[in-house]
Amino acid sequence: MQRILQRGEIESLDHTTIPRLRQPVRAAVFSDRAVRLQQLAADNSPIADYLLLMAQVAAAQSALVADLQVPGPQAEQVEQAQTHGMPPMQANTHPRDAQWLTVLSDLLSTVLQAHEIPSAARQVMQDLLEKTTQEPETLESWADALLAEREDGVDAASAPFVMAALQVYWTALATDFNEADLPVVTPQGVCPMCGSLPVASIVHVGGQADGCRYLCCSLCSTEWHLVRATCSHCQSTKDVALHSIEDGPEGIKAESCDTCQTYRKIFYQEKVLGVDAVADDLGSLMLDMLMGEAGYTRSSGNPLLWQDTQADA
């Protein structure tokens, strides 16, 4: 008699199987990012002040996510996601508890206690803090836009802080989610957990993930496997190339695709100690400039850096 293997059984038979997911670890994800941002700021970065500000934000995120419990998807939502092969906590449709506004308020209050915050950033945060009680509907509207990855209708200076609070909320969801409840197949190119775009990818070292490339979610901090030399935007395996800055760090490259004319950065853990996709993407803006000059467009942005498209027009 032939027996059909159930979800997870095939993987359990082979201990060398590449893990599909790497779920975030509450105690490490934001604290490690804070340390990495501080390291990048100390490395003669032209945006050192901004990196240090974001390090303060990441430290606040770490404290907030530690014990945060938010409502996860109901059983019927999980079943529906499995039926249709969709992310179970899709960012732009998952019911968002107003608790995220408390996270935002606490995050801003914590960061504002730092003495070295630039005056312009301090004013932005103070105005934003007032909105958490006086204009929550405005912040909900901004959150909807950011989660749908729209830049219009959002204050660009406030966006990184709003996004930081949403990261805490969704990362808490991702850490608690049972991977066995994840659909076997989800749409390519987006996070299988929340449906957001990746910020960059990392080639890991050690364990079952050794030498494997994982895309890193910009929202919930989940990582998911994608074979190398494959465009993370259009999935093409043709005309994919790696670019780096001459005499620059060996472990930081941009993977371009001539099929869709886009690129995303790829970081190599064996070359960049303590690499964090969000932090290192933010700290390597020079590579973005060079890729833009070469005619390529970023596949997706950094959650801690937003541009006002109306101002650029």
Residue 191 tokens read as 């996070």
% of the chain beyond a pLDDT of 70? 92
Q: What is the pTM of this model?
A: 0.91
In terms of pLDDT, which residue wins out, 220 or 6? Answer: 220
Q: What distance lies between CA 234 and its chain's CA centroid?
A: 19
208: left (phi over 0), alpha (psi -120 to 50) or beta: alpha
Nearest to 268 by CA among 214, 308, 196: 214
Which CATH homologous superfamily contains domain 22-181? FdhE-like domain (3.90.1670.10)
CB atoms within 10 A of CB 110: 16
Query: For 198-312, which CATH class?
Result: alpha beta
Alpha-carbon distance of 80 to 84, in angstroms, equals 6
Is residue 307 pLDDT above 70, yes or no?
A: no
Extents of the domains making up the chain: 22-181, 198-312
255, β-bridge pairs: 242, 264
pLDDT, tens digit, 9 for 90 and up, residues 112-165: 998 889 999 999 999 999 999 999 999 999 999 999 988 788 999 999 999 999
Cα angle value 189/87/165 (rounded, 5°): 90
| 273, HSE (Cβ side, Cα atoms, 13 Å) | 1
The whole-number pLDDT of residue 2 equals 43
Q: Which residues are CB-neighbours of 302 under 8 A, at least 6 positions away?
A: 199, 218, 278, 281, 282
Tens-digit pLDDT profile for residues 82-102 = 999 999 999 999 999 999 999
Q: Are strands 297-298 and 262-268 parallel, antiparallel or unpaired?
A: parallel
Query: φ, ψ for residue 53 (rounded to 5)?
Result: -65, -45
| Fold match, 22-181 / 198-312 | yes
Q: Is the pLDDT reported for residue 9 higher than 90?
A: no
